[in-house]
Structure 1
């Protein structure tokens, strides 16, 4: 089935058997098509999803509540095949005969009623172009450092934890994945020993990346690891102390939806739980400061 974009400003990428990903960007001036105007754009996301949680944190750090409103989506779509009903008009206005589910995160343009982007990394970065009152989450000259942190979290934690907790596969493969996971956590633990933040002297997108990754590790991946593995993961005092401290910041902890994370996990996961699932490493609600 052919999917045709209805706007020249948002590129639609498709693959075999997959729904299109919209990759428009917010530019710095009118020549970009999608240029920064307070109130023009809206976010649609679920904080039960790691991408949505990360975007919500950066949005709060920037103080964009008025300049870029947020529609929070349920943890699980209304319809598994069609996605979120509230997003269907945006998808159908943005791609002719749109074939896939309408899912978040979405950055939409209120002027056109169409989607700018569904690509989480681009959305997160482009929020800085909408202004805001908080410190820059992507400080000048920090791009390569933040990208390195993102790769470390994606490959060394998320992907390694998923492989380590796989119900099927060779024991050697699981052991190798667990080694990678523990090496990455050890590197983060040593780096954070004596530091308040990942980079610079204030919170940045790197902190949003690491914190979201640790939330997902403790609330989702942990459920597929045995008790010994979970104990070894917990044995990184600087890292988990950092997680507790960051959770207390209102831009972070107030977005935690642990019940939503659990509902989303149960709806999506087909793996078997293991013996490490009983107790979380961190009591996340205890360290959350509610407004």
Structure 2
């Protein structure tokens, strides 16, 4: 079964970002993809920040595009990060909204290029990275995007709806069905493959892995134990997640303490029996990657 067929999940629309500039391949674009000009601001406790941190490491961009880490829990009243406030105020006249991450900024101008994580990851892939992995190999872009959409909507967003406090029981049950169906499709795909697309490491694996981290460390806390046991029953899928957690570009960015603090700082839902059924030993696998589970 193809990834395009696997991705047959009802669309869920994300909120439009505040800033959505793009990097180009030449100076006429306004934001030329050159080293030492741009900076990432992110928290690895945030799913989008974790994806960008992993992609950034896979591309080997530590020198060409430095990363400034943000705290797991925003430090401004009403949300947002004080460290990002100057960038937002320089980028929008009389900006009064929250200064949220992740952000790709332009050190030359002191302004924001983008706050849209999927665009940022694609633009990082445009930086020169000789001899390193390409997250969006030519000819596979549409397949990878379909896989990313399936993981985002069929895993992370479905899991969130399935555990939503006060939600309609029928809607929660339907969301759980979508989640389990998607996990089953991914299980079948990964039963004979090391990676999700074309047997090579791509952005699709970054998306899926971060969604699985969120599923086991956050969303399962709001599901019943039976549901979590059904989720844990996808052996090939969780073996894949465990294998990637031991990869240095993945595991060293796991901030389990930060994820927990962010979750408890934002979540108003009730804890369910699934909270006691951890699927993977993420801390142990992060240690195998040469990293830690804390920052």
Q: Same fold (TM over 0.5)?
A: yes
- What's the offset of the Cα at 1:118? 0.5
Residues in 2 aligned to 1:175 and 1:86: alpha-carbon distance in whole angstroms = 41
Please give the residue correspondences for 1:182-193 in structure 2 after superposition, counting only pairs within 5 Å.
Answer: 182-193=180-191
SS in 2 for 1:130: coil
Please give the residue correspondences for 1:232-243 in structure 2 after superposition, counting only pairs within 5 Å.
Answer: 232-243=230-241
Residues in 2 aligned to 1:186 and 1:159: alpha-carbon distance in whole angstroms = 16
* 1:25 and 1:34 in contact (8 A); partners too: yes
* 2:148 and 2:203 in contact (8 A); partners too: no
- What's the offset of the Cα at 1:146? 1.1
* 1:20 and 1:100 in contact (8 A); partners too: no
- Equivalent pairs counted in the alignment come to 274
Residue matched to 2:56: 59
RMSD between aligned residues: 1.4
Residue matched to 2:168: 170
Residues in 2 aligned to 1:184 and 1:278: alpha-carbon distance in whole angstroms = 23
- What's the offset of the Cα at 1:200? 2.4
Residue matched to 2:140: 142
Residues in 2 aligned to 1:82 and 1:223: alpha-carbon distance in whole angstroms = 23
Residues in 1 aligned to 2:174 and 2:35: alpha-carbon distance in whole angstroms = 48
Structure 2 gap segments, 5+ residues each: 1-14
Moved more, 18-27 or 167-176: 18-27
Residues in 1 aligned to 2:221 and 2:57: alpha-carbon distance in whole angstroms = 29
* 1:19 and 1:100 in contact (8 A); partners too: no
Residue matched to 2:12: none
- What's the offset of the Cα at 1:132? 2.1
- What's the offset of the Cα at 1:19? 9.5
1:78 paired to 2:75: yes
Residue matched to 2:122: 125
- What's the offset of the Cα at 1:279? 3.2
Residues in 2 aligned to 1:218 and 1:114: alpha-carbon distance in whole angstroms = 36
Please give the residue correspondences for 1:101-250 in structure 2 after superposition, counting only pairs within 5 Å.
Answer: 101-133=98-130, 134-250=132-248
* 1:78 and 1:85 in contact (8 A); partners too: yes
Residues in 2 aligned to 1:242 and 1:140: alpha-carbon distance in whole angstroms = 24
Q: After the TM superposition, which segments of 4 or more aligned residues of structure 1 sit over 4 Å from their partners?
A: none
